[in-house]
Amino acid sequence: MEQRNATRLRVLEHIRTKGAVSRIDIASALQTSPATVTAATADLIAAGLIKEIESEAISAPGKRGRPRVLLQLDAKSYIVAGLKVARQGISVILVDFEGSETASYKHPLEKPRMSPSEFVASIRSALDETCAQIGRSAKDLAGVSIGVAGLVDANRNFVYWSSSITERNIDFSNLLSRHVPCPAFMDNDANLVAKAEQLFGLGKGLKTFLVVTVEHGVGLGIVLDGQLYRGKRGCGAEFGHTKVQLDGALCQCGQRGCLEAYVGDYALIREMAVTGQINEAMTVADIHDRAQSGDQRAASVLSRAGQIFGLGVSNLINLFDPECIIVSGTQKSFEHLCTDKVLARIRSGVVNVDAALPEIKVHHWGDLMWAKGAAAYGIEQVSILKVRELIANTP
Amino acid sequence: MEQRNATRLRVLEHIRTKGAVSRIDIASALQTSPATVTAATADLIAAGLIKEIESEAISAPGKRGRPRVLLQLDAKSYIVAGLKVARQGISVILVDFEGSETASYKHPLEKPRMSPSEFVASIRSALDETCAQIGRSAKDLAGVSIGVAGLVDANRNFVYWSSSITERNIDFSNLLSRHVPCPAFMDNDANLVAKAEQLFGLGKGLKTFLVVTVEHGVGLGIVLDGQLYRGKRGCGAEFGHTKVQLDGALCQCGQRGCLEAYVGDYALIREMAVTGQINEAMTVADIHDRAQSGDQRAASVLSRAGQIFGLGVSNLINLFDPECIIVSGTQKSFEHLCTDKVLARIRSGVVNVDAALPEIKVHHWGDLMWAKGAAAYGIEQVSILKVRELIANTP
DNA sequence: GGATAATATTTTACCAGATAAAATAAATAT
DNA sequence: ATATTTATTTTATCTGGTAAAATATTATCC
């Protein structure tokens, strides 16, 4: 049964990445027989996960034979919520099964750090508020996925530590099942963005790639052979806290020399503060503006961040040798990390092989990147759930 | 058939890690049925890979029931050669199927860098020489495995670059099959040591661990979920060339700031040279001696290497979150990398989680570490080959 | 010392899941 | 209308694993 499950999911996954594809093409792409695909797609249709495209006669002009029937995700079948908890508030997005947004909402938070029960209560009310927008209730959701900054063991909804939560080592399974009326999943926010790149973004169809997220901190999601790699204790991929300098700059985490302490938003603002030219709420966008209008010090702050970032990325390539590295961020605020000089730094740090460097792709998401990431993970988890149910009910 | 293959190999692998184990125990350990184990072990016995232990009645005293029959590797069934090509010469070891040494030999090399055909010819004569010691010929070997320093794509015996070879990007498949009269495999030397740790060493039974090799350079083998991770192009795990300092010390590879340029043998000797107190052929052991007899400068050279090494290891833990890190070397010449201060540095660089730090194990091998590593890989590849043959011949 | 119980392994009958081959469906070309 | 081509479904098998029954081998109990 586990085997069958996996086959169904593989077919579903392939339909998702291809968008619309015929049974024959699935069979040849997955190196399996048409009979198996017929069986699998029949099940997936029964579960409401996919559907046949109505518009008949897609037969290529001048091509004989029975035309292929295209299959695609059944977008309207399920609604999934993605949440990202940040200090300013909770971003929520509702998406259909294809990942298209149907509603979004920003829930304010009184305090950036909450107890576990406050945390779950906030999630619940953010969820209710958003569902109300489309005249639905949280009960109607097929799943909810929650992204938090910090160290999370996603397999057991266990949070070692998060900047949003006052207590350490909390198992959220019970709290969530009590207070959220649908299946709920948690993970580290960078992992979720990696999931989004894999399902909908620049990682579509790739097997082995890394997603680096840049914003306040620097995060990493590792996808190896199509799977998110999480490490033994569920707390790997802490790229932002790899050390780039012995006893270097002080980081938020309390340690010294972390990459994040040179590249994260707060690090840049801290540097600008040293120059004395800082006002209350300076942002990285402001630093960009200054640099562009000729401020040498601002330019130098950005440039050094880029060099350190490039060093870090070259280390990732040296260790993982991935197909591709995707740099993802919400705004245009990380342009300084994608310059030719940064690329040169990366190149000069990667061990020299006569094979092309892994492609480095840049993805500028909008504000909802993190929430969309959570939604992507939610869609994947719901798929797994539905397939499991389906087979459990097949006698 | 592929599935059956995998089952056979899983059983064989379990027998190897346990040493001697009964069918029942295999079944429960691998979560499979006794019937399957009976079938698998029958096949493995037919292939000469395992055998039943003769000594009957191992029944525990006072325990009723039919006693278990223990199974173990059939040590005498196959001979495998492991080779390590270094600048001083080629180390060869012949092992039985359990990995026990039956002969070893050090083949001198006139020149440290050879053309591909010279390279293969040297391997052949080193092999012949060693086999002669036990009155055998290279034809009698079940497989030969060759380790080289450099960038190797093991899946296709392709060497991007190696310090032992004058040309780049050589596909050795044809050369090897023409000049070596038995199946031959190549890989990066650090990967091979990781294989040895997995099959015979401190990684026995572990799923996810890293092996750091220290000697002239610094190497890394990555084992994830029981498999060697090699990256997309087959050239990942270049730990020695991850950068620990922006525009830092010059490395053999021509780049700056590589970890190896602070930790490798040549880096220490270079540092000592700066102090002016160097003779022709100083070794790391000499530096240790001096440090122990109170030479502050020698102590400081070793201490800095340790700190940089610790920084690198903490980065590995932050990225991979493995079960365990094994530091492997040939001599006692890396004691300075295993001190309490180094451990403290590692600890101070790993992101703080309330879960135990991955265990850090130190493995002092003898001189033949690299060759034994190659042999381990050879044994694994021969196992795969034999199982494949077996099933191909089962009608 | 034979009956009984306990435990390991093998055998047998069967099940699950994938597939080859045949059948069917749906189009174009003649 | 008929033949041809291609896609999908159905059916009969094949593969690999497993539950249950059978068998093997021991200890323990009268």
Q: Read off the pLDDT of residues A20-45 as tens digits, 9 standing for 90 and up.
A: 999 999 999 999 999 999 999 999 99
Angle between helices B2-18 and B34-46 (to 10 degrees): 90
Compute the C-alpha angle B199/B202/B204, nearest 5°.
40
B205 beta carbon < 7 A from strand D? no
Residues of A in contact with B162 (CB under 8 A): none
Question: Is position A199 within any domain?
Answer: no
In this structure, the answer to whether residues A284 and A216 fall within a common structural domain is: yes
A61 or A248, which is more confident? Answer: A248
Question: Is position B223 within any domain?
Answer: yes
Instruction: Provide the number of structural domains found in chain B.
Output: 3
Alpha helices in A322-368 (DSSP H): 340-349
Question: Is position A193 within any domain?
Answer: no
* Out of B160, B241, B321, closest to residue A318 by CB: B241
Closest CA to A376 of A153, A138, A223, A198: A198
Strand C nucleotides in reach of protein CB atoms, 7 A cut-off: 5-13, 16-21, 25-29
Interval B327-384: pLDDT, tens: 999 877 788 999 999 999 999 999 877 778 999 999 999 999 999 999 999 999 999 9
In this structure, the answer to whether residues B124 and B97 fall within a common structural domain is: yes
One-letter amino acid for residue A129 of the chain: E
CATH number at residue A343: 3.30.420.40
Pair of tokens at residue B140? 């009698």
Radius of gyration, CA atoms only, chain B: 23
In this structure, the answer to whether residues B329 and B228 fall within a common structural domain is: yes
Percent of chain A past pLDDT 70, that is, above it, reads: 96
Residue A224, strand partner residues: A227
- Band the pLDDT of A394: cuts 50, 70, 90: low
Element (DSSP H or E) covering residue A81: strand A80-85
Q: According to the model, what pLDDT value does residue A323 have?
A: 96
In this structure, the answer to whether residues A243 and A321 fall within a common structural domain is: yes
Q: What distance lies between CA B160 and its chain's CA centroid?
A: 20
In this structure, the answer to whether residues A254 and A376 fall within a common structural domain is: no
Q: According to the model, what pLDDT value does residue A339 have?
A: 93
In this structure, the answer to whether residues B384 and B294 fall within a common structural domain is: no
Q: Hey, how many other C-beta atoms are within 10 angstroms of the C-beta on A192?
A: 36
Q: Which residues contact B335 (CB under 8 A, 6 or more apart)?
A: B288
Q: Which residues contact B163 (CB under 8 A, 6 or more apart)?
A: B87, B112, B113, B148, B149, B150
In angstroms, the Cα distances linking A23 to A34, A52, A61, A77, A98 are 7, 10, 20, 21, 19
B3 beta carbon < 7 A from strand D? yes
A38 beta carbon < 7 A from strand D? yes
Q: Which residue has the tokens 């690329």?
A: A343
Q: According to the model, what pLDDT value does residue A333 have?
A: 78
Give distance CA A119 / C1' D15 (Å): 52
One-letter amino acid for residue B322 of the chain: P
Which range among A352-361, A386-395, B62-71, B100-109 shows the weakest confidence by mean pLDDT?
A: A386-395
Calpha distance A187→A153 (Å, rounded): 7
Give chain B residues 220-279 with Cβ within 7 A of strand D. none
Calpha distance A225→A203 (Å, rounded): 12
Closest CA to B145 of B113, B186, B182: B186
What sign results for the dihedral spanned by CA atoms A11, A17, A22, A24?
Answer: negative
Given CB atoms, is A346 within the 8 Å cutoff of chain B? no
Calpha distance A84→A186 (Å, rounded): 10
In this structure, the answer to whether residues B322 and B350 fall within a common structural domain is: yes
Interval A259-287: pLDDT, tens: 999 999 889 998 888 766 666 678 888 89
Domain that holds residue A291: 204-364
Give distance CA A5 / C1' C20 (Å): 23
Give distance CA A391 / C1' C26 (Å): 31
Single residue among A39, A74, A109 that ends a domain in this structure? A74
Interval A186-237: pLDDT, tens: 999 999 999 999 999 999 989 999 999 998 889 999 999 999 999 988 777 8
In angstroms, the Cα distances linking A380 to A10, A274, A374, B222 are 12, 45, 10, 28
3-state secondary structure chain B: CHHHHHHHHHHHHHHHHHCEEEHHHHHHHCCCCHHHHHHHHHHHHHCCCEEECCCCCCCCCCCCCCCCCEEEECCCCCCEEEEEECCCEEEEEEECCCCCEEEEEEEECCCCCECHHHHHHHHHHHHHHHHHHCCCCHHHCCEEEEEECEEEEHHHCEEEEECCECCCCEECHHHHHHHCCCCEEEEEHHHHHHHHHHHCCCCCCCCCEEEEEECCCEEEEEEECCEECCCCCCCCCCHHHCECCCCCCECCCCCECECHHHHCHHHHHHHHHHCCCCCCCCCHHHHHHHHHCCCHHHHHHHHHHHHHHHHHHHHHHHHHCCCEEEEEECCCCCHHHCCHHHHHHHHHHCCCCCCCCCEEEEEECCCCHHHHHHHHHHHHHHHHHHHHHHHHCCC
Name the closest residue on chain B to residue A359, using Cα atoms.
Answer: B232
In this structure, the answer to whether residues A125 and A31 fall within a common structural domain is: no
In this structure, the answer to whether residues B125 and B170 fall within a common structural domain is: yes
In this structure, the answer to whether residues B236 and B359 fall within a common structural domain is: yes
Question: Is position A172 within any domain?
Answer: yes
* pLDDT of A395 over the 80 cut: no
Single residue among A58, A74, A90 that ends a domain in this structure? A74
Given CB atoms, is B151 within the 8 Å cutoff of chain A? yes
Asked if B232's CB is within 8 angstroms of A323's CB, the reply is: yes
Residues of A in contact with B263 (CB under 8 A): none
A4 beta carbon < 7 A from strand D? no
In this structure, the answer to whether residues A213 and A238 fall within a common structural domain is: yes
Calpha distance A343→A310 (Å, rounded): 7
Name the closest residue on chain A to residue B307, using Cα atoms.
Answer: A246
Residue A98 has, within 13 A of its CA and on its CB side, a CA count of: 15
CATH number at residue A66: 1.10.10.10
Q: How far is B386 from chain A (nearest CA, A)?
A: 26
Interval B86-100: pLDDT, tens: 988 999 999 999 999
What is the pairing mode between strands A101-108 and A89-95? Answer: antiparallel
Q: According to the model, what pLDDT value does residue A131 have?
A: 97
Residues of A in contact with B257 (CB under 8 A): 311, 349
Measuring from the CA of residue A42 to each C1', which nucleotide is nearest? D9
Give distance CA B313 / C1' C21 (Å): 58
Q: How confident is the prediction along chain B (395 residues), in pLDDT tens digits per residue? A: 789 999 999 999 999 999 999 999 999 999 999 999 999 999 999 999 999 997 655 556 678 888 899 999 999 999 999 999 998 899 999 999 999 999 999 999 988 899 999 999 999 999 999 999 999 999 999 999 999 998 899 999 999 889 899 999 999 999 999 999 999 999 999 999 999 999 999 999 899 999 999 988 899 999 999 999 999 887 778 999 999 999 999 998 899 999 999 999 889 998 888 766 666 678 888 899 999 999 998 999 999 999 999 999 999 999 999 999 999 998 777 889 999 999 999 999 998 777 789 999 999 999 999 999 999 999 999 999 999 988 777 65
Give chain B residues 41-70 with Cβ within 7 A of strand D. 56-57, 59, 62-67
